[in-house]
């Protein structure tokens, strides 16, 4: 997952980062991001290595899971390693102002530090930069999700999504973007037991699930390391391991659209369903020709993937421990998995837009 930012940005973007940022030498054990705290800078690791960790806690199931896999008890559980070319602090650009994990350096190194206000201003004013940057963030989150899934297995992580995907997508897009999607998309009726996306196969479109229900499961293949992990965790062998249910408002096919990777799971209709499909070539052409749309679309996808990543960590670790210990909610307290007011307002707007789309498409 190294160097994604440098690969996705162009030369002028990189020149701006160098001119705006400050190179800082860091020693071992320098804290770049403190668990559960807000932060003020965005970091690009130029030299050295950092670790993303989760504090060990008696009430922390994820920490126990990692400790079990590592064969012992350790005070801090390492989630992942961050090496040259990787970033720290990107989650603030997608509405998450604090984090459930901490990041500190493992050795002497060099980082490029950029103040968050300057990054936010650049993202707001330069739509080309915003599109390339958020696409890179989406790829990074896909890599980190795959890393966590491979290491932990998934079990029930994705079986109950409290927030529908479409709220993240429609919250970022403009009404004109939805008009384009309605005009260029195709309504498809998917019969029960029909496979929409096959594991390892091509994905021809981005799909919005407008009605019905689908399931996500792993096919039994030696080439898929997740299958054996799930079977081991569940103490059983199964040719098909269901890992998620999808309902009205979910998005399908977005991972393959971001960087062309094959889907890691199969998606099949549980009951008669209705989807709006946007053909992959058509959507790619739109992203290339309309830079404003591209900036909004990639930010929406990055936000969606960021929520999935933070959800795995927060729900199973310390994300809600402040108010899970019997304390009442307090508007003066900032909780680790809390979305900012602007994001919540966007979600409310997105719900209205989704209902409007269903009415335009005449989907009950």
The pLDDT tens digits for 76-88 are 677 788 888 888 8
Give the integer Cα–Cα distance in Å for 88 and 42. Answer: 6
Q: What is the pLDDT of residue 158?
A: 46
Q: What is the pLDDT of residue 68?
A: 60
Measured CA to CA in angstroms, residue 201 lies from 132, 219, 263 at distances of 26, 12, 7
Give the integer Cα–Cα distance in Å for 307 and 138. Answer: 11
Q: What is the pLDDT of residue 96?
A: 63
- Residue 190's closest CA among 119, 98, 274, 316? 274
Which CATH fold topology does 161-361 show? Jelly Rolls (2.60.120)
CATH entry 2.60.120.10 includes domain 4-151: yes
Does 4-151 match 161-361 in CATH topology? yes
Are the C-beta atoms of residues 92 and 39 closer than 8 Å to each other?
yes
pLDDT band at 153; cut points 50, 70, 90: low
How would you write 225-285 as a 3-class SS string?
HHHHHHHHHHCCCCCEEEEEEEECCCEECHHHHHHCCCCCCEEEECCCEEEEEEEHHHHHH
Backbone angles phi, psi at 18, to 5 degrees: -65, -40
Q: What is the mean pLDDT of residues 61-75?
A: 56
Are the C-beta atoms of residues 186 and 276 closer than 8 Å to each other?
yes
Give the integer Cα–Cα distance in Å for 168 and 172. Answer: 7
Domain ranges of the chain: 4-151, 161-361
């Amino acid at each position: 997952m190294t160097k994604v930012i440098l690969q996705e940005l162009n030369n002028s973007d990189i020149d701006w980062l160098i001119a705006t940022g400050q190179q800082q030498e860091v020693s071992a054990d320098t804290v770049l991001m403190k668990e559960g705290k807000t932060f003020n800078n965005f970091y690009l690791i130029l030299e050295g290595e950092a670790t993303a960790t989760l504090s060990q806690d008696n009430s922390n199931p994820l920490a126990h899971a990692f400790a079990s896999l590592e064969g012992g008890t350790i005070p801090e559980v390492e989630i992942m390693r961050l090496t040259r070319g990787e970033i720290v602090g990107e989650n603030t650009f997608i509405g998450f102002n604090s984090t459930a994990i901490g990041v500190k350096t493992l050795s002497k190194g060099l980082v490029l530090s950029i103040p968050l206000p300057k990054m936010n201003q650049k993202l707001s004013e330069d739509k080309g930069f915003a599109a390339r940057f958020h696409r890179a963030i989406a790829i990074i989150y896909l890599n980190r999700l795959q890393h966590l899934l491979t290491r932990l297995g998934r079990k029930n992580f994705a079986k109950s999504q409290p927030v529908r995907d479409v709220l993240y997508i429609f919250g970022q897009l403009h009404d004109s973007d939805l008009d384009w999607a309605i005009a260029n998309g195709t309504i498809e009726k998917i019969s029960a037991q029909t496979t929409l996306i096959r594991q390892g196969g091509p994905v021809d479109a981005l799909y919005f699930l407008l009605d019905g229900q689908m399931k996500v499961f792993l096919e039994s293949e030696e080439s898929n390391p997740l299958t054996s992990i799930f079977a081991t965790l569940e103490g059983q062998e199964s040719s098909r391991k269901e890992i998620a249910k999808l309902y009205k408002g979910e998005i399908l096919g977005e991972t393959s659209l971001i960087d062309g990777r094959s889907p890691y799971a199969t998606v099949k209709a549980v009951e008669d369903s209705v989807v709006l499909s946007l053909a992959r070539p058509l959507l790619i052409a739109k992203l290339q020709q309309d830079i404003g749309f591209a900036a909004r679309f990639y930010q929406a996808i990055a936000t969606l993937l960021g929520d999935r990543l933070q959800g795995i960590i927060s729900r199973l670790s310390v994300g809600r421990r402040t108010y899970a210990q019997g304390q009442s909610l307090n508007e003066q307290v900032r909780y680790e998995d809390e979305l900012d007011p602007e994001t919540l307002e966007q979600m409310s707007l997105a719900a209205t837009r989704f209902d409007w789309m269903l009415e335009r498409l005449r989907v009950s």
